[in-house]
Chains A and B, each alone.
Chain A
């Protein structure tokens, strides 16, 4: 699901999660699961009611929302619901790939761009040398949105390996490699940025 988040951001779409949960609990959950998006509190499930996902529960203060996804257009375009999916239970979730396809379709997009930073060998050694626990940072960024999403430039051995496997995954899934660009921090080479693109039929 994590790589799907960055694909969603790559489409210029903000992602938020809403639940009947206290901010303190959301803070703990967000840190524990290292979630990059905001978690919003919906006490009394008022937003769930407004979006027809409300589901009564016992006791009543634990009322919940059915799992739902809503794509809301920009304010400039009138903030209408462009796509929604609500399942009766959590077993009826949409798969991550399907979400991206639905968004592309609803937004009328044809091209999807993903860029992956793959650390250099020296960068890997440097990072492994200064071993970090717990792992921080994201190995993956999306073209054009890098400053907006505040991507960390630190890599751990674990997510550097994930960057390699991500490049392989994209290539195997039929994405076209557009550019490979060496990246530097001052004089020091930090690796290469692989930019992939695919056209959606």
Chain B
């Protein structure tokens, strides 16, 4: 594949990463900043959710 080809939108973003588009969002249970358990199931009960993943340890 040409260098430019790796930047074209498609099923893989980069490094062969598979897009999650159209798939069931994997369920999770995580602790918020107060230590309370939060599940995706509960968050999506009231509507759509935009999840931002970022690198920790900053």
Contact = CB atoms under 8 A, between A and B. Distances in A.
Nearest to A15: B50
Contacts of A52: 17-20
Contact of A75 (B14, B28, B45): B45
Interface string A130-142: 0000000000000
A50 to B, nearest CB: 4
Interface string B21-58: 11111101011111100101101111111111111110
Contact of A53 (B41, B53, B56): B53
Contact of B55 (A26, A65, A72, A78): A65
A23 to B, nearest CB: 5
Bin the interface of chain B by size.
Answer: 35 or more
Interface stretch (A34-42, A112-120, A154-162, A180-188): A34-42
Given A23-B33, A72-B40, A81-B21, A90 B28 contact: no
A15 B24 contact: no
A166 interface: no
Contact of A47 (B14, B28, B46): B28
B55 A69 contact: no
A140 to B, nearest CB: 18
B24 A80 contact: yes
Interface stretch (A6-14, A171-179, A190-198): A6-14
Contacts of B26: 47, 50-51
A38 B56 CA distance: 15
Interface size range on A against B: 35 or more
B46 A74 contact: yes
Say whether chain A's binding surface is mostly helix, strand, loop, or mixed. Answer: mixed
A53 B56 CA distance: 13
A21 B35 contact: no
Given A18-B52, A75-B41, A81-B22, 12 more contacts: A19-B55, A23-B33, A47-B30, A51-B26, A52-B17, A52-B19, A65-B54, A67-B52, A74-B46, A79-B24, A79-B44, A82-B48
18 contacts: A17-B53, A18-B53, A20-B56, A40-B31, A52-B19, A53-B53, A65-B53, A67-B53, A70-B53, A72-B40, A73-B25, A75-B45, A79-B24, A79-B44, A81-B24, A87-B13, A90-B54, A90-B55
